[in-house]
Amino acid sequence: MLVVVLMVSVASFALLFLTGDPTELLLGSAADVMSQQQIEEFRRARGFDRPWLVQYLGFLTHAARGDFGDSLRHHRPAFEVIWERVPATVQLGAVAFALSVGLGVPLGVISATRRGSVVDAGAMLLALLGQSVPSFWLGIVLIMIFGVYLHLLPISGRGTWLHLVLPGLTLAAFPLARNARLTRSSVLEVMHQEYVRTARAKGVPEFGVVYRHALRNALIPVVTVIGLQLGFLLGGSVIVETIFAWPGVGRALIQAIGNKDFPVVQAGVTMLAVTFVAVNLLVDLLYATLNPRIRYQ
């Protein structure tokens, strides 16, 4: 597990390095009035001229102690810059996750059990909409309707619980649609398998058939996908954060990448990797509860 975090850290450092060092970006317009020699001095003073491996090892020894160095842009600990955005990110992610699972999975189950009905068609139409509109478009439309025309909800920023509604919905749309569809297809498939037919033949009531025998197994691929989504929700919500001015980690990471703010990028990427590993553990646990038949080596 630590291996993964390490791999991510090395790779991101290397890739960022490939695109050039941050000297000119940091200097901004100052570079125009400085001589080449002065710029080199600046580069040397900050240590950007050392080979990347040396820089990385230097970073690693500090990181092991929890010190990611100071942000080049914010002039305070890079770890702080990322950590202070975690609560906002978790809130948004949690809301979107809850919506996408809490609405998506039941929707899929209902569609499967009432296959071919109006409910099924309606739900699948919603799912279609959810997966074919880009989040930035949906976000702007929701802002227009609920924020400007109807004046019902706050538009951007963070403040009350109401501020979470629009960004949460926007972020949840795609995973919700995906969960609904996947659950539906998975449940359908499982419902026709042997042991379900056996249970029916035995006279087990429909409710029991669906919810005890079928659902557990149907949920396995769904859980896999949900587990993957958490990574997306936490790190890939840049677009929602940009549209709604939500102070999350995603946007901080993008800005840091854009500013070549190595310490913050490292802090952010590492934090995301660690989170992801933790989520993996949860997903494994969930597997174990759903299907004890699955044996690991």
Partner 1 sequence: MTGARAAGALLGAGILALVVVIAVGAPLITHQSPAGLDIKNRLLPPVWAAGGSAEHVLGTDHLGRDLLSRLAYGARVSLLVGVSAVTVSGVVGVSLGLVAGYYGGHVDDVIMRLADFELAFPFILLAIAILAVLGPGLSKVILVLGLTGWAQYCRLTRAQVLGLRETEFVEAARTIGASTPRILLRHILPNAMAPVIVIASFSVAGVIIAEASLSFLGLGIPPSVPSWGGMLAEGRTYIERAWWLVTFPGMALMLTVLSINVLGDAVRDTLDPRLRGLS
Partner 2 sequence: MRHMKRSRAWSWLKRAAVGLMALALIGAPSTGGSAAPAQDTAVILQGADIVTLEPYYSQSLPDQNAIIHMFETLTRFGDNLQLLPGLAESWRLLDARTWEFKLVAGRRFQNGEPLNAAAVRYTLLRGKEFYEKKLGDVQYEYNLLDLDTVEAIDDVTVRVRSKNPNPLIPLHMAHSQTAPMPPRYTSQTSVNDLQRKPIGSGPYRVIEFVPNERVVLETWSEHPNRPAVRRLLFRPVPEDATRIAELTAGNADIIVNVPPDLIPQVERNRSARVETVAGLRRIIIGLRQDRHPALRDKRVRQALNFAFDCRTMMRNLLANKGECTGTVANVPDQNPAVKAYPFDVQRAAALLDEAGWRMNPRTNVREQGGRALEFGFDCPRGRYIKDAEICQVIASDLAKVGVKTDVQVFDWSVFVGKSARRGAGFRDIYLIGSGPGFECQADLALVQKDSGSNRSLTDMARFEALWDDMSVTFDVKKRRDICFRMQDVIYDEAPVIFIWFQTDIYGVSQRLEWKPRADERIRLHTSRFR
Q: Which of 133, 140, 228, 277 binds partner 2 (CB under 8 A)?
A: 140
The residue (of 155 and 220) whose beta carbon lies closer to partner 1 is 220
Find which of partner 1, partner 2, none residue 276 binds, CB within 5 to 8 Å per kind.
Answer: partner 1
For the chain, state the CA radius of gyration. Answer: 24
Q: Please list every residue from 245 through 274 that binds partner 1, using CB under 8 A.
A: 250, 253-254, 257, 265, 269, 272-273
Q: For residues 143 and 152, is the Cβ–Cβ distance under 8 A?
A: no
From residue 31, how far is each of 22, 34, 48, 107 by CA, in Å? 12, 5, 16, 58
Q: For residues 254 and 184, is the Cβ–Cβ distance under 8 A?
A: no
**Structural tokens at position 113:** 């059990």
Min separation Cβ 38 and partner 2, Å: 8
- By CB under 8 A, residue 129 contacts partner 1: yes
Looking at residue 28, its amino acid is: G
Q: For residues 190 and 200, is the Cβ–Cβ distance under 8 A?
A: no
The number of beta carbons lying within 10 Å of the beta carbon of residue 34 is: 13
From residue 199, how far is each of 207, 236, 292 by CA, in Å? 11, 43, 19
* Contact mark string toward partner 1, 143..162, x via CB under 8 A: -x------------------
Min separation Cβ 71 and partner 1, Å: 17
Min separation Cβ 139 and partner 2, Å: 8
Own/partner contacts of 226-229, CB < 8 Å, gap of 24 or more, are 226/100, 226/101, 226/175, 226/179, 226/283, 227/279, 227/280, 227/282, 227/283, 227/286, 229/97, 229/100, 229/175, 229/178
- By CB under 8 A, residue 37 contacts partner 2: no
Q: Which of 50, 236, 255, 259 binds partner 1 (CB under 8 A)?
A: 236
Q: Which of 8, 12, 13, 42 binds partner 2 (CB under 8 A)?
A: 42
Sequence-distant (≥ 6) Cβ neighbours of residue 117 within 8 angstroms: none
Distance (Å, whole) CA 106 – CA 113: 11
Distance (Å, whole) CA 240 – CA 99: 15
The residue (of 55 and 280) whose beta carbon lies closer to partner 1 is 280
- By CB under 8 A, residue 140 contacts partner 1: yes
Find which of partner 2, partner 1, none residue 37 binds, CB within 5 to 8 Å per kind.
Answer: none
SS3 70: strand
Min separation Cβ 243 and partner 2, Å: 5
Nearest to 170 by CA among 218, 209, 137: 137
Q: Which range binds partner 2 by CB under 8 A, 3-11, 59-67, 202-210, 285-293?
A: 285-293
- By CB under 8 A, residue 239 contacts partner 1: yes
Q: Which of 148, 202, 205, 293 binds partner 2 (CB under 8 A)?
A: 148
Find which of partner 1, partner 2, none residue 27 binds, CB within 5 to 8 Å per kind.
Answer: partner 2
- By CB under 8 A, residue 207 contacts partner 2: no
Footprint on this chain of partner 2 (rule: CB under 8 A): 19-20, 23-36, 38, 41-42, 45-46, 73-76, 84-88, 90-91, 94, 140, 143-144, 147-148, 151, 154-161, 163-164, 242-245, 247, 251-252, 257-260, 282, 284-286, 288-289, 292, 296
